[in-house]
A = this chain, B = another copy of it.
Amino acid sequence: MRLSTMFVPTRKEDPAEAEVVSHQLLVRGGFIRMLARGIYDFLPLGWRSVRKIEQIVREEMDRAGAQEVHLPAVQPAELWQESGRWTHYGAELLRFRDRKGAEFCFGPTHEEVVTDMIRGDVKSYKQLPLNVYQIQTKFRDETRPRFGLMRGREFIMKDAYSFDVDEEGALQSYDVMFEAYHRIFKRLGLEYRAVEADTGNIGGSRSHEFQVLAETGEDEIVSCTECGYAANVEKAEIRLEVAEAGEPSGSELATLRTPKARTIEEVSAYLKRPAQLIVKTLVYMADEKALIVLTRGDHQVNELKLKAYLNGELGRDVQELRMASDAEVEALTKAPVGFAGPVGVEGVEIIADLAVEPMVDFIVGANLKDKHHVNVNHGRDFEVSAFVDLRQAGAGDICGRCGGTLEAHRGIEVGHVFFLGDKYSKAMNANVLDENGEHRPMQMGCYGIGVTRILAAVIEQNHDDDGIIFPMAVAPYQVVICPLHLKNELVVSEAERIYNELQAAGVEVILDDRDLRAGNKFKDADLIGIPVRLTLGGRGVENGEAELKMRHQSENEMVPLSEVVDRIKALIEDARGER
């Protein structure tokens, strides 16, 4: 297409609200515009890239035997009441009433609707296995939408659902999807890891996340350098090596001034003691009831383990577990945030990670502004109601599988495969007759891919100071032709000839026919990340040459005008071969 007629409103300035590079470049490159918090318009270039991602996903779903369907965005409350999620899903579920007062939601996911569809027509094991998928707009009313397309409220997802008569079949369906996901993310040109993941609110018992590695990722993952084991830190199995209990020195508890030292790093630096000798005090709200959790200063709390302990071993039914707000911490400890500690706090349960148990003569916040206690010992200075494993995996921890060492990465979750078992089929009476004539709930799996989020992830991994560096598979156009001297008839006629020949060959090509300087044309071409740039200058064309430059390489090359079209076709063919 001719750039002069295209709606590609590039901008020079980063948008004020954009914290990550993909958000900045998507706005500056004219790919997206914000309509409301977490809700974006896709402009022509952005939408072309989304459709390319969709098409790769679709081809691999079809190849894996999944059948495309399209389910409604507006879903009746009744189905969510059947599954029990109408009450459990929380405020992320956008609910409303229609003109007759009936309750509905904007689907954030489709387990209920798809189970309802299948139960209506599938009655026998002979109709199974089935795997249906859709590529469709979802809405999750996030508290803090951010990072542009990485955590939006309205987004496009591919969601697939498998139905089998038994667990063995369901796990085979799972494996087929697992392999299809690998093909998809390879074709997209992404560096990613498939990691074991927690099964969270959706339920079920086997689950992998597909994480694109990027510093800006919101997820923390670890992988073992020895055995390749990879998992979300929430789920990662680590070998706990608890030290032997120390012997308290017998020194009295003392209170030291620690002005402005709030974090473990600041306290450690100020008191010149390692983080391993400090106990970190965290205040959580479990369904609005405060709870103090202690860990060693260099450790992190795994909230899933904490919740599992509360609801499992303690037999509670905590729905919402969250960090206390600053105000709640201050109300509890009567001190500014950063100085909380377990000594002298009344009426609050205190639990501690196993690694705290052997610690003696340690340091804690004093519940006084700019003060910490030292020579603290549990049992003497305060009571811990239970020591349990609450630790989250991190770099340097010992791999729970092989004893190797874990390394940490940040990841953007772009895909998720789940074995659901009979969670939904049982609740919703989605039964089939098996070979023995017995009714049994179908075994389900669900498989998501964040289509619009992938666009952000591609850019997080593929950019430089000048802009986006699209892999060929996701680029909105493959080639941009920049004729530099629009008054030179030969330049224009050669540019037009090449443009027409490439289009006729099915190449997606932009002709930058704007009357601008070379620098401005190159800036835009680099910003929007077109993989191949062909520049026609006056002198070059008179010598029978044009300049060919790949966006991901710094060198360029002069190519005879007669060979340009074939060279470009070959470049695109090569990229296709990289599948």
Contact = CB atoms under 8 A, between A and B. Distances in A.
Contact of A74 (B99, B130, B139): B139
A39 B72 contact: yes
A69 interface: yes
A35 B72 contact: yes
A96 interface: yes
A65 B1 CA distance: 9
Contacts of A113: 35, 41
A153 B102 CA distance: 14
Interface in A342-362: none
A73 B70 contact: no
Interface string A45-69: 0111011000000000000010111
B65 A41 contact: no
A134 B1 CA distance: 18
Interface residues of A, number: 59
Contacts of A106: 73-74, 106
Contacts of A216: none
B41 A9 contact: no
A36 interface: yes
A402 interface: no
A141 interface: yes
Interface stretch (A114-122, A220-228, A367-375): A114-122
A41 B127 CA distance: 19
Interface in A134-162: 134, 136-137, 139, 141, 143, 153-154
Contacts of A95: 96
B42 A70 contact: yes
B47 A99 contact: no
Interface centre among A40, A43, A127 (most CB of B within 10 A): A43
A99 B41 contact: no
Contacts of A122: 7, 9
A412 B34 CA distance: 36
Contact of A36 (B35, B42, B104, B137): B104
Contacts of A91: 99
A7 B71 CA distance: 14
Number of chain copies forming the complex:
2
B41 A117 contact: yes
A56 B382 CA distance: 73
Given A9-B121, A154-B73, A68 B40 contact: no
A141 B98 contact: yes
Interface string A330-345: 0000000000000000
Given A98-B94, A116-B35, A141-B99, A67 B7 contact: yes
Interface string A232-254: 00000000000000000000000
Given A121-B9, A154-B72, A143 B44 contact: no
Contacts of A70: 41-42, 46-47, 50
Contact of A153 (B1, B74, B130): B74
Most buried by B among A46, A75, A121: A121
Given A74-B154, A92-B99, 11 more contacts: A7-B122, A7-B127, A7-B132, A33-B121, A36-B72, A40-B72, A47-B134, A72-B154, A73-B137, A73-B154, A74-B94
Interface of A: 1, 5-7, 9, 30, 33, 35-36, 39-44, 46-48, 50-51, 65, 67-76, 91-92, 94-99, 102, 104, 106, 113, 116-117, 120-122, 127, 130, 132, 134, 136-137, 139, 141, 143, 153-154
